Amino acid sequence: MRKHQIIAWGLCCMLLFSATSCQKVKSLFGGVFGGGKKSSTTGWAYNDKKNGGIEYKKVKGQKAGPGLVFIPGGTFILGQTQEDVMKDWNNIPRRVSLSSFYIDEHEVCNIDWLEYLGYLKRVFVSFPEVYEKALPDTLVWRNQMAYNEPYVTNYLRDPNFAEYPVVGVSWEQATEYCIWRTDRVNEQILIDKNVLAHDPTNQADENNFNTEAYLAGQYAGSVKNNYKGMGGDRRPVRAEDGILLPAYRLPTEAEWEYAAFALVGNTEDERIGNSRIYPWDGSWVRYAEKKNRGRMMANFARGEGDFSGVAGDPNDGYIFTAPVMSFYPNDYGLYDMAGNVNEWVADVYRPLSFQDIAAYNPFRGNMFTTPLLDEEGNLAQKDSLGRMRNRLQTDAELATRENYRTADNRNFNDGDLQSRISNDINWQSTEGDAGTSDMYYQTKEETTTLIDDESRVYKGGSFRDRAYWLTPSARRYLNQKKSTNDIGFRCAMSHIGPDPGRK
């Protein structure tokens, strides 16, 4: 092709691009983005009650729930790239990708937990055990060779500690808090939209707002002005309306680590200029910028018996926990992703997890459930606490599936006998159960590890820990029923739909 022909061809392409780019982009929904009136696949009208059309309204995108910060998804190296001085070898680096999600700006505080306890005590009047089960273990402050009684009696309830991170909560208690928070946030959304009236006094026992029960039609509440649906009919809000938020939950280990490193601060045009040891740049724990140079970046133990530094000139200034947001945030605007208290994450602990997990949204701990049905095939009635009933799927139900064959996948491919079985379908175990909740299981009488399906990961380091544990890659574990005075948590939420600001 000659030079002048190439130029002419290029000009034509530019004119064509210019002409098409000036037009509005066509939507799959029968018109330009913003809400077409007809289906592009059938020609039937949306939101037309006369011809049985389906309801469809364009939504602006998911909003962040209270307290949450948006974390755009991407790829990163999960695991420890620095020297493993503990010789655990439990966080071998692996590249993974994560969907976008939300995570709490700071750790859940004592005042947050007191709000939770107050609700449980007020609503579940016939079930006082619900309130008692949610009480933190304040005895975690006791030490056989220390005087910590003031914390035992005051840390949770004294208003001076209101904005300190809650501790003494187990993984199970933290998970229950997430469920409660989901319902309170969604209930408030419906109140703000005048769908429900603010009527907390009439909620008691099973008659309390639960998101799943409301969507299933098993909770009506005090209706103020129901949602305007197709043809102007008033009805309860549905999941398809895009109004209610997804569930609050514990972050996965990968999500927590990704958010803590906040490598967005070192990234330009998909190039990560520098990796990190901590949630900030540098190999030390003091602020590097001239304005605040020398100030501590986190609340941790500088050395044996040194929790705060010398009186009058302390290093981090706090002998035990600190109020949330006392130290500088990372590049996502998240506080205390290193130090103060460790934080529960959702994952079941296995030392070889980083070799076994998926490359996209990695997580160990899946237990796949399905709604419980009654004899007529309808959703079973909610339980005495107002929650919908679910059950684990059975292996028989999953026999023909290709992507998973059992509901409880906490110990999937973790090194136990079942994991080492070949694909020979005629293999018969002579040692008893081939799969077990214990890792490296041998026989019914012999177990070679303390790690089981109730071992949950916690991360982040605390006021009691040395600097080594401040790196987001470091990982430890504890039984999900136990608690300590240096483990707290923060919540997360999945992001649904296209990312805001995506190029």
State yes or no: pLDDT of 287 exceeds 70: no
pTM here is: 0.87
pLDDT in tens, 343-395: 999 999 998 766 778 899 999 999 999 999 999 999 999 999 999 999 999 99
* 314 against 403, higher pLDDT: 403
* pLDDT band at residue 256 under the 50/70/90 scheme: very high
pLDDT in tens, 481-495: 999 999 999 999 999
Alpha-carbon dihedral 166, 167, 172, 177, rounded to 10 degrees? -10
Ranked by mean pLDDT, which of 2-16, 18-32, 192-206 comes out on top?
A: 192-206
* pLDDT band at residue 47 under the 50/70/90 scheme: confident
* pLDDT band at residue 6 under the 50/70/90 scheme: very low
State yes or no: pLDDT of 52 exceeds 80: no
Domains belonging to the chain, first-starting first, are: 66-193+243-366+409-423+434-503 (3.90.1580.10)
CA angle 162, 167, 169 (to 5 degrees): 125
State yes or no: pLDDT of 471 exceeds 90: yes
Which DSSP helix (H) or strand (E) runs through 256? Answer: helix 253-261
State yes or no: pLDDT of 156 exceeds 90: yes
Ranked by mean pLDDT, which of 101-105, 262-266, 279-283, 316-320 comes out on top?
A: 101-105
* 253 against 45, higher pLDDT: 253
State yes or no: pLDDT of 72 exceeds 80: yes
End-to-end Cα separation, the chain, in angstroms: 35
User: What is the token pair recorded at 62?
Assistant: 């998911």
Per-residue pLDDT, averaged over 15-32, amounts to 43
Express as a percent the part of the chain with pLDDT over 90. 59
Q: Cβ contacts of residue 233 below 8 Å, gap of 6+?
A: 49
Express as a percent the part of the chain with pLDDT over 70. 82
Per-residue pLDDT, averaged over 218-246, amounts to 91
Please state, in angstroms and rounded to a whole number, the distance separating the CA atoms of residues 38 and 32: 11
Residue count of the chain:
503
DSSP state of 109: B
In whole numbers, what is the pLDDT of the chain averaged over residues?
Answer: 85
Which DSSP helix (H) or strand (E) runs through 478? Answer: strand 476-479
